[in-house]
């Protein structure tokens, strides 16, 4: 077979590509479906699909991602192999998947061409923009078009993404939207929620979660400013280090004159309490349900947001966040695009945003948009599971 110029150049650069040796676990028996994520944020979205494939089709799921991903039963993790012809052949021979599913837009031409030769169906989900695997970027005439045309179907997140894939050469592109993500709605003990809600009655409440020491002053200043507008406002502050609760309580009582209740001392947030300090991060499902507004700690002055912003979104709490997104950049991007969260750039901005969202209608608009985003995508996941079922049944 005479290879195209682009494919020849890609294969030549692949000979110089280096990477860690890829260990392959033993292949479980039975049908196996391969999911590939280019990065960890993308892998989080694929986990719900993996769970559905395992539960409904009884398959094993292989998930490849450059970063290790927490798995559940009947899921296998492997780092993706270098995208060379030899590695692609060895990878597909070892795992023998019935179907390959890539996400967002990363293309691995070597494995796609090998899959085409084996008549292995490959699809792209959550597709935004096609691009070559990062370590193999370059100029390869006609390669992207040929790689995309080897795909059975591309499910784009929106019309702009669909146009990008069509221009690049994809044969069958469908605007499908985003896939369902794992439910971020954390549980809580309902009698406890009802009891605390009764104590808080009709008071306005806001929550600052996983707050590092570097942000404590900013959160205190924001609460001080907001109290001028709503003197009955209650702050639920969950410090990143639970051991900080006692020192924080003493500091706020001495410097601000606030009444502080500590859950670890079995104190309750009564009508005079300005700040309530939980003693554990184990009850976030409870705090999100009680708080119409949530600030994502670590995103302003810390090392980055440590909690998934879809947690408060799934429970109807409006979100405030800073510029340090941690591992949730794509999630915050989606929330921002949907006008489902409020971004702040400084400690002063945090106080302004909080004061603005004390207007119930403004917080409710953000919370509703965030909830809709967190609940979106069920139909797309159903479509992909149905496609996989048809493949296993021999119909695709």
Burial class (CB in 10 A: 0-12, 13-18, 19+), 228: exposed
- Predicted local distance difference test score (pLDDT) of residue 106: 93
In whole angstroms, give the CA distance from residue 393 to residue 385.
12
Q: Compute the half-sphere exposure of residue 223: CA atoms within 13 Å on the CB side of its CA.
A: 28
Record the tokens describing residue 234, joined without a space: 């209650």
- Predicted local distance difference test score (pLDDT) of residue 20: 57
pLDDT tens for the chain, 396 residues: list them. 446 765 666 666 665 555 555 678 899 999 999 999 988 877 777 887 898 899 899 999 999 998 888 777 788 999 998 888 889 999 999 999 999 999 999 999 989 999 999 999 999 999 999 998 776 666 667 788 988 999 999 999 889 999 999 999 998 999 988 876 666 678 888 998 999 998 988 899 999 999 999 999 999 999 999 999 999 999 999 998 888 889 999 999 999 999 999 998 989 898 899 999 997 767 899 999 999 999 999 999 998 998 889 889 888 899 999 999 888 887 888 888 888 899 999 988 999 999 999 988 899 998 888 888 777 667 788 889 999 999 999 866
- Predicted local distance difference test score (pLDDT) of residue 186: 83
- Predicted local distance difference test score (pLDDT) of residue 217: 94
DSSP tag of 146: H
Residue 53, classed as helix, strand or coil, is helix
- Predicted local distance difference test score (pLDDT) of residue 1: 46
- The Cα-based distances of 194 to 46, 127, 233, 290 in angstroms read 35, 42, 19, 9
Cα 233 from chain centroid (whole Å): 31
Helix axis angle for 40-57 and 378-392, nearest 10°, is: 60
In whole angstroms, give the CA distance from residue 126 to residue 259.
48
Contact predicate 263/239, CB 8 Å: no
- Predicted local distance difference test score (pLDDT) of residue 2: 45
Contact predicate 377/385, CB 8 Å: no
CB atoms within 10 A of CB 246: 15
- Predicted local distance difference test score (pLDDT) of residue 13: 67
Only one residue has tokens 């912003």, namely: 309
Q: Phi/psi at 321 (nearest 5 deg)? A: -150, 155
Residues forming a β-bridge with 61: 33, 75
- Predicted local distance difference test score (pLDDT) of residue 329: 85
Q: Which helix (H) or strand (E) holds 76?
A: strand 75-78
Record the tokens describing residue 108, joined without a space: 């691995």
């Amino acid at each position: 077979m005479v290879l195209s110029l682009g494919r020849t150049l890609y294969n030549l650069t692949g000979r110089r590509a280096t990477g860690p040796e890829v260990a392959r676990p033993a292949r479980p028996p039975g049908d196996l479906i391969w999911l590939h994520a280019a990065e960890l944020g993308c892998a989080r979205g694929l986990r719900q699909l993996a769970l559905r494939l395992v539960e409904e089709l009884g398959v094993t799921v292989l998930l490849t991602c450059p970063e290790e991903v927490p798995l559940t039963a009947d899921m296998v993790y492997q780092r993706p192999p270098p995208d060379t012809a030899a590695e692609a052949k060895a990878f597909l021979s070892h795992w023998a998947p019935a179907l390959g599913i890539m996400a967002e837009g990363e293309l691995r031409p070597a494995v796609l061409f090998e899959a085409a030769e084996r008549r292995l169906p490959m699809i792209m989900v959550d597709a935004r923009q096609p691009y070559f695997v990062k370590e193999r970027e370059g100029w390869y005439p006609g390669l992207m078009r040929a790689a995309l045309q080897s795909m059975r179907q591309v499910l784009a997140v929106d019309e702009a993404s669909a146009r990008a894939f069509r221009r690049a050469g994809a044969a069958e592109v469908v605007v499908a939207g985003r896939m369902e993500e794992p439910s971020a709605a954390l549980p809580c003990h309902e009698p406890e929620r009802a009891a605390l809600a009764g104590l808080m009655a009709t008071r306005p409440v806001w929550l600052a979660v996983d707050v590092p020491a570097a942000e404590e002053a900013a959160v205190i200043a924001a609460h001080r400013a907001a109290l001028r507008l709503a003197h009955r406002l209650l702050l639920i502050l969950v410090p990143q280090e639970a051991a900080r609760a006692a020192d924080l309580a003493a500091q706020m009582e001495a410097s601000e004159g606030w009444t502080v209740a500590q859950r670890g001392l079995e104190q309750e947030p009564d009508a005079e309490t300005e700040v309530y300090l939980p003693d554990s991060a184990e009850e976030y499902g409870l705090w999100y349900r009680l708080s119409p507004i949530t600030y994502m700690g670590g995103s302003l002055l810390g090392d980055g947001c440590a909690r998934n912003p879809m947690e408060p979104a799934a429970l109807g709490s409006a979100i405030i966040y800073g510029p340090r997104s941690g591992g949730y950049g794509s999630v915050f991007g989606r929330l921002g695009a949907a006008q489902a969260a409020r971004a702040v750039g400084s400690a002063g901005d945090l106080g302004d945003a909080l004061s603005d969202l004390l207007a119930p209608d403004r917080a409710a608009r953000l919370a509703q948009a965030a909830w809709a985003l967190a609940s979106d995508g069920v139909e797309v996941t159903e479509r992909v599971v149905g496609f996989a079922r048809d493949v296993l049944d021999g119909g695709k």
